[in-house]
Structure 1
Amino acid sequence: MTPEELVAVRVELEAFAAEVFEPFARNDQRRWGQVYLRGLLTDGKRKSVEPMAARLGVDGNRQALANFITTSPWDPAHVRARLAWRMESEIRPKALIFDDTGFLKDGHASACVSRQYTGTAGKVTNCQVGVSLHLACDHASAAVNWRLFLPPAWDPASPKADPDKTPRRQRCGIPDDIGHVEKWQLALDMIDETRSWGIEVPLAIADAGYGDAAAFRLGLNARGLNYVVGISTTMTAQPGQAVPVTPPYGGTGRPPVPSYPDPAQPVKQLVIAAGPRAARPVQWREGSRPGTGRSGRKRMYSRFVALRIRPAGREIRQATDGPALPECWLLAEWPTGEPEPVQFWLSDLPADTPLTTLVRLAKLRWRIEHDYREMKQALGLAHFEGRTWGGWHHHVTLVSVAHAFCTLQRLALTPKDPAPA
C-alpha cells in the first residue's frame, strides 16, 4: 500500500472502532481498544500483549494493554452486539453457523484448561475450547458471539469435578453461576442472546458435533429455526414413506399402540439401499485454486443423494405428537468412484427444497473454517497468554472485531452479490 492508502485505512479503522467501542464507559478504554486492535492487525507472528506492544511504537504501553485486556471492567457482550448490528447490515446473512475450536495450552492454570478433544489438534490434548456463532452468507462471514466451554472437571457440582481445578475458579475469575454445559446448549444460549440484540436469522448450520444431539435440533425447532446439520453415520431413521401400524388387539390387557413394523436403520444403510444411481451431480461454488470456473477458479463439485427420512430416537419420540415421527431431509455426499457415501447431513427444510439449495447450505459451513484460519493465522486468536475468564472473552472479542474490519475491507473491493454459478 502507498502511504496515502495506509492513512485512509487507518482513518477507516478508527471510525469502525469508534462505532463498535461506543459502549465503553471511559475514553481510556476506547483508546486502548483501538491500540489493541491495531496491534492485532500489525505484521508479526505473535499477537500476545508483549510482542504487540513492541511493534506499536509510541502506543506500545505493555502495562496499559495488559490491563485493558485482562482486568478492565468492560462487558464483551456489548461490543459483540454492536459488531453484530454492523455486520448484519453488511453481510445480509442467510445462516448462523456454529462450531468450536481449540486453544492449545502447555500449562494448567488458564481458565477451563483440561485434557479434552479438539479438532484443532485432532486428538485429546491440553487445551481450552471456545464455541462461536458466525453470521454467514455465500461471500462473507463474521464471528459475533463466543462462549468458553467449561469442562466437568472445573464444575464443583459435577461428579467429575477435579479437586485440583475447582479451587482455581476464583483465581481465574470464573463467575460462580457458570457450570458445565454441553457445547450444543452453549450454541442455543448464543442464539437467544443474539436474538436479544435484534438479530434474526432463520437458519442454523453446524457439524455432527451439534447435529447428532437431538436436543440441539429440537431446541432449534422450538426457536423457529430451520437447520442443515452434519450427522454421523450411526444415526438411525425410518424411511420417509414408512407409516406406523397398530397390531391386532386380542381383547385382553392394554390395547397396543401404533408403531413402525420394522426397526430404524442407520442413515448410511438407507443411502446405500438407494444406490449410487440416486446420486445427482451438484456444483456449489468456486474454490480458491486455479481451474475452469467462470472466475478462473476450480469448481467445487460432487454427487449427492437426498432422501426423505424420519429420524428415530427416544428424545424425538417424546417430543412428537402422535405415532408418526417427523419427516426431514437426509443429504449424503457420494463422490464418483467411492464405494459408499462419505458425508451426511440432516435438514428440516421444506419437502420441495431443491437439491442444489440443500447442498449449498450444507457446504456453507466452510465459511467458519475460513474464519478460524484467518483469526488464528493472521490475527492471533489463540495467542492470548492471560489466565482469566474475562481476559479470554475480551481477547476473542477484539480478534472478532479485527476480523470483521478485514472482511469489510474485502467487501469494499468486491461485489456483494456473487455471479450466479
Structure 2
Amino acid sequence: MTPEEMVGVREDLEAFAAELFDGFFRADQRRWGQVYVRGLLLDGRRKSVEPMAARLGEDGNRQALAHFITSSPWDPAHVRARLAWKMHDVIGAEALIVDDTGFLKDGDASACVSRQYTGTAGKVTNCQVGVSLHLAHDHASAVVNWRLFLPASWDPASPDADADKVARRGRCGIPARVGHVEKWQLALDMIDEARTWGVDVPLVVADAGYGDAAAFRLGLEERKLAYAVGISCRHTAHRAHARPITPTYQGTGRPPVAKYPDKPQTVKELVMEAGRQAARPVSWREGSRPGTGRTGLKRMYSRFVALRIRPAGREIRQATQGAELPERWLLAEWPATEPEPVQFWLSSLPSGMPLASLVRLAKLRWRIEHDYREMKQALGLAHFEGRTWGGWHHHVTLVSAAHAFCTLQRLARDPKDTAQDRASTK
C-alpha cells in the first residue's frame, strides 16, 4: 500500500492491532507491534527494519523497531492464538494446511541455516526452513502458526552434530530444549497447539512431503483428524475387498498373525489397472486466467480416478498389529492428455464422499501457495536480516498478521462474493 492508501485503512489497522496485541502488558510493545505491521504493508521492495523505518515517517525509529523485533521478550504464541481465533471465525475454515518454505541465506550465521532442500529454490541450498500451519477455505486462508526447522547439524544430541553450528546456538538465542525434530512432527505439534487455543478444524491437507510419512498420517488418526494428503506413487496397498487370512494355530509357539494372501501393489499399479475408463472429469475451482467461469475466470479442470484401498507398509501393519488394514481413499489425477496418472492422494474422508468434494478438498492446498506468494512478494516474509531464533519467530508472526489484515480488507470490500463462494462449496 502507498502512504496515501494507508491513510484510508489506518483506523482499521489500529483496531486490528489493538485486538491482536491486547495481551502485551507494555504500551511501547503494543505501539511498535502496530508500527511494524504498518511498515510491512507499505509499498517498498525491502521489508527489513532499516528501509521500513525510512518509509514510516515520524514512526520510523529504526532502533526501536530493531529492538522490538529482535530483542523484546514478547511471546509470539500469544499473537498467533489471537490471530487464529479471529481468522477462524472470519474464514469459516474447513481445513488446516501444513507445508514448509525456504528462507535463502548467503551466510551461515543465522539460526538453523544449513545446506538443505527447499522447494523455494527447487534444490539443496543454503537456507532456513519454516514449517507453517494455515486455516483455509476456498475463498480465503491465513497462516496462524510457525516452527523453524532445526537441522540435525545444529543439535548437540545428534550424531550428525556440527561443532561450529552447535557453538552458534547461544549467539542465535536457540533455547536449550530445542533439538532436531522431523518436519511432520513439527506439523503435529502446531496442530496440537492450535487445538489448545480452541481452534479445532477436523481436516488436514498436506503435500507428499508430509503425506509420505506414515507416522504423520497415524498421528492424525490418533487425533481423530481426517486428512487428504499427497503421496508418491511408490506407496503400496491392497484393494478394499482384500481380507487377511489367519493360518491354523497348531498349539505350539507364538500364535500366527493374520496376513493378506496377495502381495500389495503400488498405488500407481492399482490406478493403471483400473484404467483410463475409470477416470471422471471434475472441475474444482476457478483459476486466475480469463475464461467463462462465474467471475470471468477459467475453471480448473482435470480427470480423476478414486478407488477404495487398504494402505500397506511396515508402519501401518505394526499399528494394526495383524488386524484388518483400514480402508482409505486413493485419489489420482489422470489428465486426458497423459499416458498415466500424474498425482496421487491418500484420504481418510468418509467412503460416501462425492468425487467432486474429494477432489476440491485434496486440491485445497493451492491456498498455501497463494499465501506464501503474497507474504514473500508483498509483505517481506523472507526479508528479515536478524540472526536470532526469537527474531525470526517475531518477524514471521507479524508478517502473518499483515497478511491476515490484507485478507480482512479484501473480504470486507467484497462480502457478497465471499458469501457466494461459501455457498458454492457446500
TM-score (norm 2): 0.96
Distance in 2 separating the partners of 1:185 and 1:259:
30
The residue type equivalent to 1:204 in the other structure is V
What's the counterpart of residue 382 of structure 2? 382
Amino acid of the residue matched to residue 131 of structure 1?
A: V
Q: What code does the residue aligned with 2:420 have?
A: P
Matching residue's letter, 1:32: W
Who is 1:238 aligned against? 238
Task: Choose which of 402, 417, 420 in structure 2 pairs with 1:418.
Answer: 420
Q: How does 1:21-420 map to 2 (within 5 A)?
A: 21-247=21-247, 256-320=256-320, 322-414=322-414, 415=416, 416-419=418-421, 420=424
Write the deviation string for residues 303-358 of structure 1: whole angstroms up to 9, x where unpaired: 00000111111211121155311110000000012000000000011111111111
Q: Equivalent residue of 1:109, what SS?
A: coil
Q: Is the 8 A contact 1:116 1:125 kept in 2?
A: yes
- Asked whether the 8 Å contact 1:139–1:418 carries over to 2, the reply is no
What amino acid does structure 2 have at the position aligned with 1:297? L
Moved more, 262-271 or 106-115: 262-271
User: Which structure 2 segments of 5+ residues have no match?
Assistant: none
CA contact (8 A) 2:258 2:322 kept: no
Deviations 1:34-75 (A, max 9, x none): 111111001111000011111111111111110000000000
Q: Deviations over 1:196-240 (max 9, x none)?
A: 111110000000010011110111111110000000111111111
- Give the secondary-structure state (helix, strand or coil) at the position aligned to 2:292: coil
Deviation string for 1:250-282 (max 9, x for gaps)?
Answer: 787655432111111111111001001000000
Give the distance between the partners of 1:2 and 1:331, measured in 2 at CA.
45
- Give the secondary structure class of the aligned counterpart of 1:364: helix
Counterpart secondary structure, 2:144 = strand
Rate the CA distance shift 1:5–1:377 in 2: closer, same or farther, 3 A. closer
**Shift in Å at residue 301 of structure 1?**
0.3
CA distance in 2 between counterparts of 1:10 and 1:347 reads 44
The whole-number CA distance in structure 2 between the counterparts of 1:51 and 1:249 is 76
Cα distance in 2, alignment partners of residues 391 and 237 from structure 1? 45
In structure 2, relative to structure 1, the CA distance for the partners of 1:9 and 1:357 (3 Å cut) is same
1:18 is matched with: 18
Q: How far apart, in 2, do the equivalents of 1:389 and 1:246 lie?
A: 53
**Separation in 2 of the partners of 1:251 and 1:155?**
50
| Paired residue type of 1:391 | G
> What is the SS of the residue equivalent to 2:97?
strand
Q: Distance in 2 between matches of 1:49 and 1:254?
A: 67
One-letter code of the match for 1:97?
I
Query: TM-score if structure 1 supplies the norm length?
Result: 0.97
Cα separation, partners in 2 of 1:164 and 1:60, compared to 1, 3 Å: same
Task: Decide which moves more: 258-267 or 246-255.
Answer: 246-255
> Amino acid of the residue matched to residue 335 of structure 1?
P
Please tell me the residue identity of whatever aligns with 2:139: H
Q: 1:126, CA displacement in angstroms?
A: 0.2
Contact 1:239 1:309 in 2 (8 A): yes
Question: Sequence identity, in percent?
Answer: 78
1:85-116 deviation per Cα after TM superposition (whole angstroms, max 9, x unaligned): 11011001000000000000000000000000
Q: 1:371 to 1:252 in 2, by over 3 A?
A: same
Whole-Å separation in 2 of the counterparts to 1:348 and 1:3: 48
Q: Are the counterparts in 2 of residues 328 and 349 from structure 1 also a CA contact under 8 Å?
A: yes
Q: 1:3 to 1:178 in 2, by over 3 A?
A: closer
CA distance change for structure 1 residues 13 and 259 in 2, over 3 Å: closer, same or farther?
Answer: same
Tell me if the contact between 2:310 and 2:328 (Cα under 8 Å) persists in the aligned partners. Answer: yes
- Counterpart CA distance in 2 for 1:262 and 1:197 is 46
One-letter amino acid of the structure 2 residue matched with residue 418 of structure 1: Q
Shift of 1:141: 0.2
1:84 Cα deviation after fit? 0.6
CA offsets 1:108-164 (integer angstroms, 9 cap, x no match): 000000000000000000000000000001100000000000000000000000011
RMSD: 1.6
Equivalent residue letter for 1:102: G
Give a deviation string over 1:179-199, Cα, whole Å, max 9, x none. Answer: 000000000000111111111
How many residues are matched?
421
Distance 1:381 1:6, change over 3 A: closer
Amino acid at match of 2:19: E
Evaluate the alpha carbon distance shift between residue 6 and residue 393 of structure 1 in structure 2; reply closer, same or farther with a 3 A threshold. Answer: closer
C-alpha distance in 2, partners of 1:327/1:225? 15
Taking the aligned partners of 1:286 and 1:118, their CA distance within structure 2 comes to 28
Aligned-partner residue type, residue 273 of structure 2: A
Amino acid at match of 1:343: Q
Give yes or no for contact 2:259–2:322 (8 Å, CA) kept in 1. no
- Contact in 1 for aligned 2:6/2:42 (Cα 8 Å): no
Q: Give secondary structure in 2 for the equivalent of 1:285.
A: strand
Report the secondary structure of 1:217's partner residue. helix
Question: Residue 309 of structure 2 aligns to which amino acid in structure 1?
Answer: I
Paired with 1:5 and 1:168, the residues of 2 have a C-alpha distance of 43
